[in-house]
Chain A
Amino acid sequence: MRYHRRSVIAAGLSGLAMSMAHPGMAWASAATDKKFIFILQRGAADGLATVAPTGDRDFLSARGNFAEEALTGRKLDDLFTLHPAMVETAGLFEQKQASFVHALASGYRERSHFDAQNVMESGAMQPYGRDDGWMNRLLSLLPADSAKALAVAPSVPLILRGPAPASSYEKSRGNGPDEDLMQRVAMLYAEDPALSSLWQDAVETDAMAAVQQGKMRGGAAVGSMAAGLMNGPAGARVLMLETNGWDTHSRQKGRLGNQLKQADALIAALRDGLGEDWNNTLVLVATEFGRTVAFNGTGGTDHGTGSAAMLFGGALKNGGTVKADWPGLAAASLFENRDLRPTMRFEDIVTDALSDHYAIDPVQMKRTLFPNFV
C-alpha cells in the first residue's frame, strides 16, 4: 500500500487523542496493533556529530574545523543542529515524527565496545551480568499477538535472547533447499530441542520472506526489507536491527556522513514500507557509548561516554523536540576531561518511550525491563 501523508497525519491525530483520553489507564491487552523497532548502532556513533550542540559556545573550539559542517544542517532548537546528511529525518522532525535525546548513556562507564553493548542489550548493571535481554523481557508484558519478535541478524542477539520466543532472519539470495530435504531435516532434529526450535523458526521465516525484494541498496534496502517482515497479521511486531561502521577512529567526516545518510534512508524506508502502520510504530535508535569531544590525530574520534538517541514514529509523543539536560562542553564539564558527560540514563529513556507507546505503567515497565535498577 502506498503511503499518503494526509491520511497518516489524520490517523496520527486520532491515535494521539485516544491515548490522551485514557492517560496511563489502557493496559497492554489493548495494544494489539503496536509495533516497536530498536536499531542498535554498533561501534559507538558520534552523537556530537549526529545532533551537534552548535549553540554551545565551546563546541566550535572543541571541534575546530570539524564543527563547520555541523552548522549547515537543520537547526532543531537554540542549542542543537541535525547533521546535514539527515534530510529525511529533518522532514520527520518538522512533522513532529522525530525527536532526539542527548547526553545519555547506560550505566557502563568504561570504553570497551563489547562490554558496553553487552550492558546495553542485557540491561544489567555491569557486563555479563545477565544472559537475557530487555527486549525479550518486554515481550512478557505484551499480549501474545503483539509479542512476535524478530532480529534481522544471522542469530538472535543478546538483546532479544531470553525465555520468550524470538527468531532471527537474514536475507537469503538462493532458492533455498529442496522441500523434501527441509522436512527430513526437521525429523533429524526431532530429538534435539535446541536445533529443532531453530529449524522451525528458519522454515517459518523463510516462508514469510517471500516478500518481494526491490532493487534498493544500503539503508533503504534494509529498511524496506524490515518493513516487509512486519507487514500483515503474521508479521513481526517487535523488531531488532543492527547497523555497523560507526567506529570512526579516522577520517570521520566522510565516513560518518555516509553512515548517517544510510541511517536516514533506512528510517525513510521504514516509514514508507509500513504505510498506515507507521502511526502505530515506535522506532528507537541508540548506540553503546559516545565518542571523544576532541578529534584525535587522524581526523577521527576515540571511544567516549555520553551520546545521542533518536526516536521516530507517526504518533510520537513529544515529537519535534530535543530532550537534554545539557552538561556543556567546557573543559571542566567533561567526563574524565575528554567525553560528553551523560546526564540521562538510557534505561530511563527506553522505559519512558515504551510505557507511552504501549500505555503500560512506567513502574511496571522498568521493573520488568531493568529489574536490576529498581
Chain B
Amino acid sequence: MTIAAAIAMNRFGLGHRPAHRAPDGPRAWLLDQLMRYDPSPAAIADQPSRHAIADAFQSYRMDARQFRKLRKNKTGTDDQIAMLEAQRKESRKGLRNVHMEAVDARLAIAVNSDTDFAERLVHFWSNHFAISVEKPPVVALSGNYEFEAIRPHIMGKFSDLLFAAVQHPAMLLFLDQAQSVGPASPMAQRISRRRGKKFGLNENLAREVLELHTLGVRTGYDQSDVTELARALTGWTIAGLTGGPAQRRLIADAKTGDTVFVNAVHEPGQRRIMGKSYGADGAEQAKAILFDLAVHPATARHIATKLARHFVSDIPPDNLVKKLEENFLKTGGDLPALYRTLVEAPEAWPDQWNGAQAKFKSPWEWLVSSLRALNVNELPRNMKTAQLLRRLGQPVWKPGSPAGYADEAATWAGSAALMRRVEMAERIAQRSADRVDARILAPQILPGLLANNTFEAVARAESPSQGLSLLLVSPEFLRR
C-alpha cells in the first residue's frame, strides 16, 4: 500500500479528519487547497480590530497610571482607590482574554479546516516571522498579528509578507523598533539641545530582519549593515502605543494602533547596505532596502532550506533545497509557485515510511492532529487552549525568542514532553471513547504505515479510551 495519502494528510496537512474527503490524488488534493484557502474564515471575524485592542490597552494604561497617582498622593478615598484597582485588574484581564480568545480561534480554524495544507503554511510563516508574547501590548495584539499580517499574504510575494510582518505593531513593539530614534534626527537633536536628554537607535529589529527574516545568519552581512538598517527603520512607529518623542509629531488623523512613519525621528541621510546605496527617501528608504533583501539569493536559500526542513526532513535533501531556491529566485519570491514546486518535487514523496527520518510533530501539530482524528470541533469546555499548549511545551505565539520554535525532532522529542503528551492523550481520549472506535480509526488516519505492533496494542487495550490514548501516542502518530 502506498504511503502517499498519509504523507499528504499528515506531513503536508494537519492530520486526517475522518469527516473530510480523503485524498485520492495526493498532489492534486494539496494544490487544490492553495486555490480554496480562505484568509479570513468566520472564526476571525469576531476578533477585535487592532484599533479596538490598542484603545483597550490605552485605557488600561490610563487606569494604571491614575491608580498609581492616587495611591502615591493619597488623594482618593479608600473606596475610590479600591474601585480603580478593581477596574485596572479587570482591564488587564480583558487584554489577556483577547489573546486567549485569539488562541482559541486559531485552534478552531486549524481543527476544522478542509484546506489544512494552507493552514500549515500560515503556522509556518507565523513562526518564521515569530513574535513572542511577553510585553502586555504584544500579548493583546498577538492574534491580530497572525490574522492581519500573516494570513492575507501567504499566497502572494514574499516581499509583501515581509513588509506586512515587519510593519505590524506587534513586531514593532516586540523587537523594540517602535521607540528607536535616529540620533541625528531633527527631534533627537532638538530635545538633546534643550534638555540634554538623549534618544537613540535600537538595532534589535534590524538585526533580526537580516538574521532571521531574510538573509539568514552568517550570509555576509556585518555590524555596519545592521546599524544602517536600524537607521533606515527609524521613524516607523505606532500611534499611541509607546512613549518616546515621536508621539508628539503624529499626523492628525493617525488612529491609536496604526503603524505610522514619523519623519522627525527618522535618521537623515543615505544608507549603504550590503554594498548598495539607498537615497534619503524617508519612509521609502526602509521599504527599498527590505524589497532588495526579500529577493536576495541568500534569502532564497534561507527560505528554501526552512521550507524543505519543515515539509520533508530535519536534514533537508540538497536537491530539493536547490529546486526551491531556483524557483524563488526565478519568480522573485512568488509563494504559491514555491509551494507548487514543493508539492511536485519527488523528494517530498518517499515510497517507504521511515520513522527515524520522519518529522517529529511539535506539540501544536500533535494536539491539532489529535483533535482532527477524533472529529471534535474544539476542546472540552474545561480546557483552555493556551494553557494546554503551555503545558505541552509550546505556548502559542510565545517561543521566547524572535527565531521562533525550532523545527527539528531534538527540540520536541524529550522525555518530559513525551510524558505530557501521554497525560494529555488520556484526557482527550476519555471524551471521545463513546463514539470513536480506535481500531477503525487507526488505518484511516495512518494509511499504509500503521505497524502491527501499534494495531495490536490498540486492539488489546483495556478500554476504548485506553485504545484511543495509545493510538494518539503511537510512534506513527507522534511523527508525520
By a beta-carbon cutoff of 8 Å, the part of chain A in contact with chain B is 43, 110-115, 127, 153-156, 158, 161, 167-170, 172-174, 176-178, 180-182, 184-185, 187-192, 194-195, 198-199, 201-203, 205-206, 244, 247, 249-250, 296-298, 300, 302-303, 336
Please, how many angstroms separate the alpha-carbon atoms of A168 and B180 in the complex?
40
Chain B 370-404, CB within 8 Å of chain A: the 1/0 string?
00000000000000000000010100000011010
B198 touching A297 by the CB < 8 A rule? yes
Report chain A residues within 8 Å CB of B474. Answer: 188
Interface presence of B415 (CB below 8 A) = yes
Q: B364 → chain A, closest Cβ, in Å?
A: 14
Given A154-B416, A296-B200, A297-B181, are A194 and B422 also a contact pair (CB < 8 Å)? no
A180 close to B466 (CB less than 8 A)? yes
Given A188-B474, A192-B355, are A154 and B203 also a contact pair (CB < 8 Å)?
no
The reply on B412 being an interface residue by CB < 8 A is yes
Bound form: Cα–Cα A29–B207 in Å: 48
Q: Which residues of B contact A167 (CB under 8 A)?
A: 415
Given the contacts A249-B176, A302-B203, A181 and B469 also touching, CB distance less than 8 Å: yes
B255 to chain A, nearest CB (A): 24
Q: A177-B426, A185-B470, A296-B202 are in contact. List 15 more A-B contacts (CB 8 A).
A: A154-B393, A154-B417, A155-B410, A170-B416, A173-B391, A181-B422, A184-B457, A184-B466, A194-B413, A198-B418, A202-B416, A206-B419, A298-B202, A302-B202, A336-B223
The contact of A249 among B202, B412, B426, by CB within 8 Å, is B202
A298 touches B420 (CB 8 A): no
Q: B32 near A: Cβ within 8 Å?
A: no
Say whether A168 contacts B453, CB under 8 Å: no
Tell me if A169 and B416 are in contact (CB < 8 A): yes
The answer to whether B36 has its CB under 8 Å from any CB of chain A is no
Task: Please determine whether B418 and A202 come into contact, CB atoms closer than 8 angstroms.
Answer: yes
Give the most central of A158, A181, A191, A296: most B CB within 10 Å.
Answer: A181
Q: How far is the CA of A338 from the CA of B470 in the complex (A)?
A: 56
- Least CB distance from A190 to B in Å reads 7
In the bound complex, CA of A110 to CA of B226 (Å)? 12
Of listed B400, B415, B470, residue having the most chain A CB within 10 A? B415
A250 contact from B176, B410, B416, Cβ within 8 A: B176
Complex Cα distance, B475 from A194, in Å, reads 10
Q: Which residues of A contact B203 (CB under 8 A)?
A: 296, 302
B461 within 8 A of A: yes
B179 within 8 A of A: yes
Shortest B420–chain A CB gap in Å is 7
Q: CA–CA, A134 to B183, complex, Å?
A: 43
Asked if B204 is an interface residue, CB under 8 A from chain A, the answer is: yes
| B179, A298: Cβ atoms closer than 8 Å | yes
Q: Which residues does chain B contribute within 8 Å of A172, judged by CB atoms?
A: 416, 419-420, 423
Provide the residues of chain A in CB contact with B125, threshold 8 Å.
none
CB distance from B392 to the nearest CB of A (A): 9
Interchain CA distance A347-B332 in the complex, whole Å = 44
Q: Is the CB of B453 within 8 A of A303?
A: no
A192 and B475 contacting across the interface, CB-CB below 8 Å: yes
Query: Which one of A155, A169, A205, A303 has the highest number of Cβ atoms from chain B below 10 Å of its Cβ?
Result: A155
The answer to whether A110 and B418 have CB atoms under 8 Å apart is: no
> What is the CA–CA distance of A153 and B478 in the complex, to the nearest angstrom?
20
Q: Which of A43, A177, A201, A336 has the most CB of B within 10 A?
A: A177
Roughly how many angstroms separate A181 CA and B400 CA in the complex, as a whole number? 33
A155 in contact with B419 (CB, 8 Å)? no
Bound Cα distance from A174 to B474, whole angstroms:
22
Contact (A185, B413) CB under 8 Å given A111-B207, A114-B403: no
Residue of B nearest to A64 (CB): B198
Q: How far is the CB of A201 from chain B (nearest CB, A)?
A: 4
Question: Contact: B414 with A154, CB < 8 Å?
Answer: yes
Query: What is the distance, in angstroms, from A135's C-beta to the closest C-beta of chain B?
Result: 15
Assembly CA distance A182 to B423 (angstroms) = 9
Are A296's CB and B417's CB within 8 A?
Answer: no
Query: Residue on A with the closest CB to B406?
Result: A114
* A250 and B473 contacting across the interface, CB-CB below 8 Å: no
Chain B nearest CB, measured from A215 CB (Å): 20
Q: Are the C-beta atoms of B419 and A202 separated by less than 8 Å? A: yes
Could you list 20 examples of A-B contacts with CB < 8 Å? Answer: A115-B218, A154-B393, A155-B415, A169-B416, A180-B466, A184-B457, A185-B470, A188-B454, A188-B473, A192-B475, A195-B418, A198-B413, A198-B415, A201-B415, A244-B400, A297-B200, A298-B179, A298-B180, A298-B202, A300-B176
Neighbour of B202 across the interface among A180, A194, A198, A297, CB < 8 A: A297
Q: Most chain-B Cβ atoms within 10 A of its Cβ — which of A43, A297, A336?
A: A297
Q: Which chain B residues border A191 with CB–CB below 8 Å?
A: 451, 453, 475
Assembly CA distance A120 to B208 (angstroms): 21
B420: which A residues are within 8 A, CB to CB?
A: 170, 172
Residues of B within 8 A of A198 (CB): 413-415, 418
Q: Are B414 and A190 in touch, CB under 8 angstroms?
A: no
Chain B: minimal CB distance from A68 (Å)? 16
Query: Contact mask B169-209 → A, CB, 8 Å, 1/0?
Result: 00000001001110100000000000000111111100100
Residues of B within 8 A of A336 (CB): 223
Whether, in the assembled complex, B40 has its beta carbon less than 8 Å from a beta carbon of chain A, the answer is no
In the complex, per-residue mask of B410-439: 1 if CB is within 8 Å of any chain A CB, else 0: 111111111110110010000000000000
Q: Does B251 contact A (CB under 8 A)?
A: no
